[in-house]
Amino acid sequence: MVYTFGQLTIKEIRANEFLPSLLTIAFCGIIPILFTLHPTTIAQAALPGEMFMPLVAILCFGGIFLPEQVAGVADVLNSKRTQLLTIYLIRLGWYTLLLSLVNTLLILSYQLPTATAVLWFDFLTKALFIGSLTVFSYAAFGSLAAAYLIPTVYFTLCLGYPHLGPLNLMVLMRQQSWTDNWWQLGVAVIFLVVGFRLLRNAAAKS
């Protein structure tokens, strides 16, 4: 069983995630051009993870739903024992892993004596929060436009709207407590659970 699932995962990633992942890595390649890799403050160190990676996350997690936009593919997959929801979970896991790897490389390149764990947690939370919002938006509206529009607007709100409290993505950049990330992680889990339940219900109805 494990072997079969592993094979499915490899085939899925090779078929649908390989090229977008390369594009993601290429896109992340501009981080050293845009941001300093020798930050002097934690706020400066947090900039790429809080300003740039959420946008990368929208691109990645929005892409989870692209392959099934071809007519009939979703129905074919849902007619099998391993259903489309499992495929979505594989993709979600893959992109989380990919973004975590990019975050890890970025933080390692900083060579900071402290705050490494805080930064890593912060960056991972951003990817998961925005990613889960993408999944939830798609599930709630069944629309690709929603999957990209809503997280983008949320990110934009974080840039200037002052009333988002602990759910503002720019935690370390704005010298808020890093523990705000627990709130964001909690909401991300809720978004994911509700999003996947909605997707499952939609699959059952179709």
Partner 1 sequence: MRLFWLEFKRFTTSLAFILYTIVTAVFILLNVWPMIGRGLATPPTSPTAHYELITTTDFHPLKTNALDQLQEAHTDNAYVTYPFGFAKRVTLNAQVQAKVGKLLNQARRIDNRPTLAKTLGHVDQLLGGHSDYAPATLQRFAVRPMTLAEARQDHTLIMRKDRITGAYARLFADIAGIIAAILPTIVIIAYCYIDRRAQVMPTIQAKPMGTLKWLGTQYAASVAGLIIPVIIAALALFGRVTWLYPGVALDYLAFAKAACFWVLPTLMVSTAVGFLSDALFSNFTGFALQIGWWLIVMTIGARQVIGNYGWLLIPRHNTLHNVAYFYAHLSELAINRLGYTILAITLLILTMLLINLQREGKYRGLHIRPAHH
Does residue 112 touch partner 1 according to CB under 8 A? Answer: no
Site string for partner 1, 40-79 (x = CB under 8 A): x---x--x---xx--x--xx--xx--x--xxx--------
Distance of CA 194 to the CA centre of its chain: 16
Could you give the string, one character per residue 84-103, with x where binding to partner 1 holds by CB under 8 A and - elsewhere?
--------------------
Tell me the backbone φ, ψ of residue 176, rounded to 5 degrees.
Answer: -85, 170
Kindly state the tokens that stand for 123: 């960056």
Q: Which stretch binds partner 1 (CB under 8 A): 81-89, 105-113, 141-149, 173-181?
A: 141-149
- Minimum Å distance from CB 34 to partner 1? 5
Asked if residue 195 lies in contact with residue 142, where contact means CB atoms within 8 angstroms, the answer is no
- Nearest to partner 1 of 149, 203 (CB atom): 149
Minimum gap (Å) between residue 22 Cβ and partner 1: 12
CA-atom Rg of the chain in angstroms? 18
| Residue 177 touches partner 1, criterion: CB under 8 A | no
Q: Which residue has the tokens 């900071």?
A: 112
Q: Which stretch binds partner 1 (CB under 8 A): 1-9, 39-47, 72-80, 188-196?
A: 39-47
Residue among 75, 77, 58 at smallest CA distance from 15: 77
Show the CA angle centred on residue 116, arms to residues 124 and 180, nearest 5°.
Answer: 50
In contact, 45 and 115? CB cutoff 8 Å: yes
CA distance 128 to 181: 11
Rule CB under 8 A: say whether 148 interacts with partner 1: yes
- Interface with partner 1 (CB under 8 A), residue total 38
CA 95/CA 110 separation, integer angstroms = 23
Any contact of residue 22 with partner 1 (CB under 8 A)?
no
- By CB under 8 A, name the one of 13, 146, 185, 194 that touches partner 1: 146
Q: Is 176 left (phi over 0), alpha (psi -120 to 50) or beta?
A: beta
Give the span between the Cα atoms of 66 and 59, in whole angstroms: 11
Q: Which is nearer to partner 1, 10 or 25 (CB)?
A: 25
Residues in contact with partner 1 by the rule CB under 8 A? 23, 27, 30, 33-36, 38-40, 44, 47, 51-52, 55, 58-59, 62-63, 66, 69-71, 141, 143-146, 148-150, 152-153, 156-157, 159-161
